[in-house]
Amino acid sequence: MDKKLNIRLSVLCSMIALAAFSRIIPHMPNFSPLGVIGLFGAAHFQKKRLAFFIPITATWLSDLFINNVIYAQYYPKFTWFYEGFYWQYGSYLLIVFVGIFILNKVNTQRVLAGALASTVIFFLVSNFGVWLGSSFYPQNSSGLITCYEAAIPFLKGTMYGDLFYSAVLFGSFALAQKQFPVLRLTHARQ
């Protein structure tokens, strides 16, 4: 039983890590797996603390690589966290929390609802953070609306990324579960 749980846990963690590191592949702005890895964890980890911990850790590790290897020329020294990271990470944690409720049963409609919820949560939280930390936008309701309006062109990339990675992660894991019974959930806790 423990071996089965370890295999399942390893596969889930590997899928999340691969998805997080797929960010290094050239893509349109905001086309990202980061919201969906939280949904995926929320749906498949029995121990919900792992649903929060594993996706955030994978995100942070991929950020370390991207910021210090790919974008090293833009940072004068090693970067552990980028400015304003807590808004994005906060949105990912909120996505996991919402995903726990939406994806308590995994099916196509719920995955689609989770992906769209992920898009909306990321858009609202991250752009609120941009507005709040900005000297460019007036710190009033008009400035907040202007900030959200300016972010609309990036919303498409977020939505496409959430839909694409939902199909890839949830679809490939469902197929793997059919092919390899060891990946199916039993009553034991992981």
Give the position of tokens 């929060």.
52
User: Which residues constitute the domain of residue 104?
Assistant: 2-183
- Round to whole Å and give the CA distance between 5 and 47: 12
Q: Across all residues in the chain, what is the average pLDDT? A: 93
Q: What is the mean pLDDT of residues 93-105?
A: 97
pLDDT (tens digit per residue) in 125-139: 999 999 998 889 999
What six digits make up the tokens of 110? 């719920």
Q: What is the mean pLDDT of residues 45-74?
A: 95
Q: What is the mean pLDDT of residues 25-39?
A: 95
Query: CA triplet 145, 148, 150: central angle to 5 degrees?
Result: 110
| 125 contact partners, CB below 8 Å, separation of at least 6 | 87, 88, 90, 91, 94
Number of helical (H) and strand (E) elements in the chain, helices listed first: 6, 0
112, part of any domain: yes
64, part of any domain: yes
190, part of any domain: no
102, part of any domain: yes
Q: What is the mean pLDDT of residues 18-37?
A: 95
- Round to whole Å and give the CA distance between 25 and 43: 26
Give the pLDDT of residue 190.
42
Give the pLDDT of residue 75.
86
Give the pLDDT of residue 134.
87
101, part of any domain: yes
Domain count, the chain: 1
189, part of any domain: no
Give the pLDDT of residue 80.
95
Read off the pLDDT band of 160 (50, 70, 90).
very high
What six digits make up the tokens of 168? 């890839």
Q: What is the mean pLDDT of residues 78-98?
A: 95
* C-alpha Rg value of the chain to the nearest Å: 17
32, part of any domain: yes
Instruction: Please tell me what DSSP assigns to residue 136.
Output: S
169, part of any domain: yes
Give the pLDDT of residue 76.
86
